[in-house]
Chains A and B, each alone.
Chain A
């Protein structure tokens, strides 16, 4: 299959390219940008006039809900949704049922995913058996099976000695640990940011301290062990300041935030709408503003959707009883563009946060448009306006705080490995 992507604005952060050019794809690879190679006869020509042609997006947290939670979403539905969101590679956290804590489960997931259209799926292995925070998993075996890193996802790890040992062991083999900083005891029972809004609404709080106290421990252990640590889903101004300081001191940590936290805050909880029940909780405006600034200045390295499809019944209950999380693969791009517009950030820098940078954190190919690399490409219309409705979303999870909100920017085509895995209906 040869594809000629004609007349698009090609933006490739890794190669610092931003120009109107044609892209030529053959045998799953980008074979040329600019002029067609000799004897190139396209099977398909995509008119990209007025569209942005960028690297396929790389999402660091997409819950595919398999195995175990097929009633919330299936691999088919969520991979299709991810492709519709322009995503060509995704990391899948291990909080499935059973958790991804042994090689057989990882291989099965990879096998299932490989046989479906949609993004490349990179499982993140469970750091401890059953994610119970006690026994380390067979990280080397899991790595061989295809795990790119290890994490507890949102499961608690209360025993600091286990965390120390995990870092020492991971450092031995240079495995990467993805940790979401949250002190279990300080967060216990909480469902919202411990601040003026939760106090007014009478919602049990999770203080910012839950993040910073855990972060202090993680950073100290990372310093001591030399483990490769990625800090997932930061949410507080103070936490971001700690990460910025640690980086300035030369500690090689990376970090990400979820796209919802770039736009929303505790103030959105006022109507008790359970779609705003997220993990970590939506925090104060000053936290949100710190996140927006840290993305601009590079203190935070990547944006992810933290896609969490939830069964409708689990949201149709009072706020505190609802399952946390939001569906987001199809909103990652438009919400990133929204941030860039509002902050006056160049498109190149915005795309970098959802393609090349996360590809580096995940340690996988992709996230760029170099000639000779796999043709993982996203074509989107920067100005297309649409409304977030269940019908407009491919995900099985309609749980998003942005329901019925207008979006600007929509994916038109997604190529994965040179295949047109998604094509928007016109």
Chain B
């Protein structure tokens, strides 16, 4: 999608990983690697974005993602303003574009946007002044590119490379922006086999056209996997026409030690959080030796620093 690239091919917005060239993904991961030690210093700051104003524009409630963006921006010495629009002007009926225009008038340099509608970040990116960058922090079911990138960062750290991996994404792919971003990143980075595993009610129509193999059972789906990514099942979807109950879901698609044993012995287990223990993942697995769920959170900060640095500061 050209909207996110400048005419000379540099990243201007980060809206989706769909269609981003491998070189840019790799550049972000490499830049993130260079930021890894900042968090371990006594003074956890670099001056790259000093004087830049970054607005966290959250039209949908979020604590974790917003916090990691905030920390990342502060470590780059940017000024950060958090706006939880879900609870302020939107409920007063202010149009998104008015909100965006008002904040632009306050000399914003970057918007970090989360919205419940797919395409909301594209919509905002199309309307902001040319010097403002937009980072999609999750739009509807569409994309969550920084989550996808931090997952790639995690995989690369533990597995070293992508070209020889089998990766399974398990659960509610239908409603998951995380899964979509992961799929695009994995296929772009050259993972030869990306699998999705779930009941037919939770897989999108034509998902195989995104370059994945479809499985409806864990026994075959997890076999010989190097990486298992469990997706969060939203509470409201646990019981109804999509699934009969959380218990039945756990029985067939929950990751237990027994099912994990079907994958390669050195397989890693990932989850974008927050987890539903006993629904999509057994605590024994979540807290076990193969789990890399907490490191994912740590890496998330470095990856978001990399994205912001590349967008607002040019080359890091």
Instruction: Write the B74-117 contact mask toward A (1 if CB under 8 angstroms, else 0).
Output: 00000000000000000000011100000000000000000101
User: Contacts of B117 on A, CB cut-off 8 Å?
Assistant: 318-321
Segment 265-280 of B: residues with Cβ below 8 Å from A: none
Q: How far is the CA of A393 from the CA of B140 in the complex (A)?
A: 34
Q: Is the CB of B123 within 8 A of A318?
A: yes
Q: Which residues of B contact A313 (CB under 8 A)?
A: 95
Question: Could you tell me if A316 and B97 are in contact, using CB atoms closer than 8 angstroms?
Answer: yes
B-facing residues in A203-231 (Cβ within 8 Å):
203-205, 207
* Chain A residues whose C-beta falls within 8 Å of the C-beta of B1 in the assembled complex: 270-271
Known A195-B206, A200-B18, A202-B143: A318·B95 in contact at CB below 8 Å: no
Is B210 part of the contact surface with A, judged by Cβ < 8 Å? yes
Partner of B205, one of A205, A270, A319: A205
User: Is the CB–CB distance between B142 and A317 below 8 Å?
Assistant: no
A55 to B130, CA, bound (A): 49
Q: Are B118 and A271 in contact (CB under 8 A)?
A: no
Among residues of A, the one whose C-beta sits closest to the C-beta of B2 is A271
Interchain Cβ contacts within 8 Å, total number: 71
Across the interface, which residues of B come within 8 angstroms of A111, CB to CB? none
Contact A200 B95 (CB under 8 A): no
Residues of A within 8 A of B123 (CB): 272, 317-319
Q: Considering only CB atoms, which chain B residue lies closest to A270 in the complex?
A: B1
B119 contacts A203, CB within 8 Å? yes
Quote the shortest CB–CB distance from B202 to chain A (angstroms): 12
Task: Tell me how far the C-beta of A283 lies from the nearest C-beta in chain B, rounded to whole angstroms.
Answer: 12
Name A196's closest neighbour in chain B (CB-CB): B206
Residue of A199, A207, A316 touching B95 (CB-CB under 8 A): A316
A198–B140 Cα distance when bound, in Å, is 12
- Interface: A194 (CB within 8 A): yes
A204 and B204 CA atoms in complex are apart in Å by 10
**Which residues on the A side are within 8 Å of B204 (C-beta)?**
198-199, 205
Separation of A271 and B97 alpha carbons in the complex (Å): 18
Asked if A201 CB lies within 8 Å of chain B CBs, one says: yes
B205 adjacent to A318 (CB under 8 Å):
no
| Complex interface: chain B residues within 8 A of A203 (CB) | 118-119, 140-142
Interface string of B126-167 (1 = CB under 8 A from A): 000000000000011111000000000000000000000000
Q: A223 to chain B: closest CB distance in Å?
A: 31
Could you tell me if A196 and B209 are in contact, using CB atoms closer than 8 angstroms? yes
> Is B205 in contact with A196, judged by CB distance below 8 angstroms?
yes
Given contacts A200-B18, A271-B3, A319-B119, contact A195 B95 (CB under 8 A): no
The complex places the Cα of A204 from the Cα of B118 at a distance, in Å, of 9
Q: Is the CB of A202 within 8 A of B141?
A: yes
Shortest A312–chain B CB gap in Å is: 11
| Closest chain B residue to A313, Cβ basis | B95
Q: Which residues does chain B contribute within 8 Å of A270, judged by CB atoms? A: 1
Question: In the bound complex, do residue B205 and residue A272 qualify as a contact, i.e. CB atoms below 8 Å apart?
Answer: no
**Least distance between B57 CB and chain A CB atoms (Å):** 13
Write the chain A residue with the least CB distance to B127.
Answer: A316
A385 to B146, CA, bound (A): 46
User: In whole angstroms, how far apart are the Cα atoms of A321 and B117 in the complex?
Assistant: 8
Q: Across the two chains, which residue of chain A brings its CB closest to B143?
A: A202
From the candidates B96, B139, B140, B210, name the one contacting A200 in the complex (CB within 8 A): B210
By a CB distance below 8 angstroms, the chain B residues around A204 are 141
Contacts A271-B1, A313-B95 hold; do A320 and B206 have CB atoms under 8 A apart? no
Please report the C-alpha to C-alpha distance between residue A194 and residue B209 in the assembled complex, in whole angstroms: 13
| Interface bits B33-52 vs A (CB < 8 Å: 1, else 0) | 00000000000000000000
Within 8 A of B (CB), among A259-310: 270-272
- What distance in Å separates the Cβ of B249 from its nearest Cβ neighbour in chain A? 21
B115, B117, B207: most-surrounded residue (chain A CB, <10 A): B117
User: Do A199 and B142 touch (CB < 8 A)?
Assistant: no
Give the docked Cα–Cα distance between A211 and B112 (Å).
39
Residue positions of A touching B, CB distance < 8 A: 194-196, 198-205, 207, 270-272, 313, 316-321
B interface list, Cβ under 8 A from A: 1, 3, 18, 95-97, 115, 117-120, 122-123, 139-143, 177, 180, 204-207, 209-210
Q: Which 4 A-B pairs have the closest CB atoms?
A: A272-B119, A202-B141, A202-B142, A196-B206
